[in-house]
Amino acid sequence: MSQESLSPSRLANYATCPRLYDYRYVQDVNAPDRTELYLNQGTIYHETIEDVCEATGRDDPPEVIHDRALRIFDAKWDEHSTSDDYESAAHQEYQRAENRAAIESFFDPDGGVGIEHARRSITTECWVECEVDGRGLHGKADNVIRTDDGLHIFDYKRKTHGMLSDGTAEYLGDHLDGEAHEPKRVRNAFQTATYIEGVKNEPFYEDGMEVRFSFYGLLNKTSFESTPTGYNVSARGWPRETTEIYEDHYETIWGLIRAAHDGITNGTHEPEPFDLLNEEACPDCDYRGMCADRLSMEVRR
């Protein structure tokens, strides 16, 4: 590829703030410690889905897939969950119940969409690469399934709240123009572009295939019910498809990619427009206490 190949994560860090990217990736400054709790939980449900898909045949009965999923989840929880991540044993047990409920709902033998995700899976954890306009991108797709018309790529998340949607896609252009700060939705656009274009370079893609991309929130809705012997937790998930958004806002999305990609490869780390970034990005930044750009603003005040 003619330029450095970058991931949606790196591009999104730059879109959040060029200086943040500088500290995190260029200078490799250690950020304050963060809890590993949700990272570990993400590993658990990603590996559970991956192993279920790899073990499942097209004709496996739903009940078999469901039972397989719960057995794998239990093993993954024991492997990756540690009490150090939780405030108490009760907290850890509740989180286990919540995540197990998500897997149980996803692979529900009576209509759970995970049954077809497993049956129709072509590949999981699929490394993809693409190049458009000389900008190389790469990423790892959680699951690629075969549909009647082509391929559907899924990226499994805890929740899809606040992600890119038909109602918020217009903000991508505002971010590109420096009139708004929408790094989370911009990241979703980067992911969509990378996976849709990257899968087209895989050997299982055939010319003319329809390629779709969706995020899937496993824990979009949870409920808690007390019982005489304890409590029950239920969960429900649903997808957020961004295929049409990518098609409708193609030029804007690739404008955002070019801006971030070129900024990274050219070593441009000045935070612009600074007033907007100072207001929107600085308050939650891991590096705000040491950032010369932010501190100089405080001195000028």
Q: For residue range 74-102, what is the model confidence (pLDDT) as tens digits?
A: 999 999 998 888 888 988 999 999 999 99
- 87: in domain: yes
- 72: in domain: yes
| Burial call 3-35: b when 16+ CB within 10 Å, e when fewer | eeebebebbbbbbbbbbbbbbbeeeeeeeeeee
Question: Is the peptide bond prior to 203 cis by the omega test (within 30 degrees of 0)?
Answer: no
- 76: in domain: yes
Task: State residue 288's pLDDT score.
Answer: 86
- 174: in domain: no
Least confident of 1-5, 107-111, 217-221, 274-278: 1-5
Q: Total domain count for the chain?
A: 1
Q: Which residues form the domain of 45?
A: 35-119
Mean pLDDT of 276-280: 93
Long-range (24+ apart) CB contacts under 8 A made by 219-225 are 219/98, 219/99, 219/102, 219/158, 219/159, 220/159, 220/160, 220/161, 222/98, 222/101, 222/102
Average pLDDT in the chain: 93
- 85: in domain: yes
- 179: in domain: no
Q: Is the pLDDT of residue 1 over 70?
A: no
266 is written with which tokens? 């050219």
| Dihedral angle sign, alpha carbons of residues 212, 216, 220, 225 | positive
What is the rounded distance in angstroms from the CA atom of residue 109 to the CA atom of residue 87? 34
Task: State residue 298's pLDDT score.
Answer: 56
- 55: in domain: yes
Task: State residue 174's pLDDT score.
Answer: 98
- 43: in domain: yes
Least confident of 11-20, 157-166, 285-294: 285-294
